[in-house]
Amino acid sequence: MNMPHVDDGTLHAYLDGELSPPEAQAVEAHVAQCPACRTRLDEERALIARAEELLAQAAPPDRELPPFRPPDVKPPARLWWQVRTPLAWAATIALALGIGTYVGERERGGPQLAPTGRERPTIMADQLARPAPAPGPATASAPDSAFAEQRQRLAERRLRVSKQAASPAVVGAMEEKSAADSIARGEATPVTADGYLAAKAPAPSPAHRELMQLSTYGGAVKGPPIGVDSARLLLGSDPLAVPDLPVRGIYRARMIGYTGMVIVEQALDSSTVIEVINGRRSPLALDAVVVTGAAAALPDSQSPGARALLNTRAADSLAAAPRPAPTPPADQDKAKRAASGLFVDVLGPLPPDSLAALKRLLRPLPP
Amino acid sequence: MSDVSADSLAEIYRTTYRALVRFLYRKVWDAERAEDLAQEAFARAVVHKPENARGWLFIVAANMARDEARRAARERRHLTLLTAESQDGTPTSDDVFQEEQERVQVRTALEQLTPRDREVLLLWDSGLSYSEIAAHTGLAPGAVGTTLARARRRLVEAHEAGEKGEHAARG
């Protein structure tokens, strides 16, 4: 034999198909005339097979490939018929939430009569909307558990609400929301009583919207921790945070109506944690589509009777909607941000004015 | 141009995502977490647009898994979660139990390899070529086969030793 034995590494490389053709030929030539190496080749082949078998036993469950979702910076150019179904779902759920809140308040005979914060569907909304601090369960010393509890309540609430709002009611809710939105925006709509309603009750409409928004994102599902890069991608811009506060974590969150939602957790002090909610509204957000699309479609598709019903419902909703009269100053700010597509809010076991103050401090998180 | 790279990344996603999850799973031992980390790695690839996206993804994934392991060790929470999951999460049929046992044995055997041997083995099993593995680990391309031979042998031996130990313990 004019060639030394083939070493293990080369045998494995040969069996793995990683040798160049001349190298592979050299191995074959040697093995052909060397029984010892032939035996070793078989042994190594068995070893490789066994190792693969073992690794296969430690493989994750084979799941379907999730769709590639590169966080797009530009709004996706989707066609309306591709969008309609998910959008309809989003609208249904979000509106069921809103109407459920309203129905719930009526059931209990109004917000003032609710004895504790326990049954309140939208504690966060109340906290923000009320000028005076309302010490409830949410201001307990363990912020995490308090929030978990809140979310739990909201989730239960949502479940109950979606049961109440069976399909006809949901359709009604959708119409009502579109009407309420039109009023809130002061838009001319084909609904005849709108002028009257808008003149009579100009203030409650934004409050009503506010309430819905808050109760909706209160139900956001907090996901796994992510890096700043991913947060930026999800939002299409820098996530906002309170400067000079240590960031405890950045989390992805999911919520219908938002293409991207990020929660920045920051420690205010050793025992207080605040959450900065950054949400990028879907380019096909509820207001945008329901108002322009549905309202425009109303005169053609709705019978006069249905329209009358719609008016009554809208009036009801405005009359019965809880109206926290003084709106926090941060609202305009928020409205502006919401309009620009980014929705930001600060949650934490603090009085509303403190939260509002923190919100005014928000700055883009440095990379 | 960015469309082209997005397309190629989508293609890489299609061909590499599962392999990346597989790779990550053997590091974090939590399927959902592995999937999240894989998604995260692809999200970063979209931003950084690396030239050799495949190799880059595995490097990023390896780093994320290492950070994850450090944090888990610090918080001592990960294992508790895993245990809780395996106790009440799945239906306790014999097959499932058996599979879980096998998984634990392979995991134990894998953990007895040196970090470099283990890394090379996991990368190969995820479909990387010798040259990709060499680039990832800094090994000379000629050393990959030798490392892989040693890693495979140790894995099989450690697994056999573990099985024997198991039988002895059951007595």
What is chain B's pLDDT, residue by residue, as a tens digit (171 residues)? 444 466 788 889 988 999 999 999 999 998 999 999 999 999 999 888 888 889 999 999 999 998 888 887 777 655 555 555 555 445 567 777 888 888 999 999 999 999 999 999 999 998 899 999 999 999 998 999 999 999 999 999 999 998 887 777 665
Q: Which amino acid is present at B55?
A: G
Q: What are phi and psi for residue A280, nearest 5 degrees?
A: -100, 120
Is residue A367 less than 8 Å (CB to CB) from chain B?
no
Across the interface, of A13, A60, A232, the residue whose CB is closest to B22 is A60
Q: What are phi and psi for residue A114, nearest 5 degrees?
A: -65, 120
What pLDDT is attached to residue B133?
Answer: 95
What gap in Å lies between CA A209 and CA A18, rounded to an integer? 64
A322 contacts A265 by C-beta, under 8 angstroms: no
For B87-105, give one letter per residue: b (16+ CB within 10 A) or e.
eeeeeeeeeeeeeeebbeb
Per residue in A289-329, pLDDT tens? 333 333 333 444 444 444 444 444 444 444 444 444 444 44
Beta carbons within 8 Å of B135's beta carbon, 6+ residues apart: B52, B55
CA distances from A163 to A87, A97, A214, A310, B39 (A): 20, 11, 21, 21, 34
Across the interface, of B25, B46, B147, the residue whose CB is closest to A233 is B46
Size of interface A-B (CB pairs under 8 A): 118
Quick one: which of A214, A303, A230 has its CA closest to A264?
A230
Q: What percent of chain A has pLDDT over 70?
A: 40
Total-model pTM:
0.44
Q: Which residue did the predictor score with more confidence, A71 or A237? A: A237
Interval A162-168 mean pLDDT:
43
B150 vs A contacts (CB less than 8 Å): 8
Confidence of residue A334 (pLDDT cuts 50, 70, 90): very low
Distance from CA of A2 to the nearest CA of B (A): 22
What gap in Å lies between CA A180 and CA A327, rounded to an integer? 18
Quick one: which of A185, A270, A234, A256 has its CA closest to A365?
A234
Q: Can you name the residues that pair with A222 across neighbouring β-strands?
A: A253
Is residue A47 less than 8 Å (CB to CB) from chain B?
yes
Q: Which residue did the predictor score with more confidence, A8 or A339? A: A8
B21 vs A contacts (CB less than 8 Å): 60
Across the interface, of A8, A10, A18, the residue whose CB is closest to B129 is A18
What pLDDT is attached to residue B105?
Answer: 92
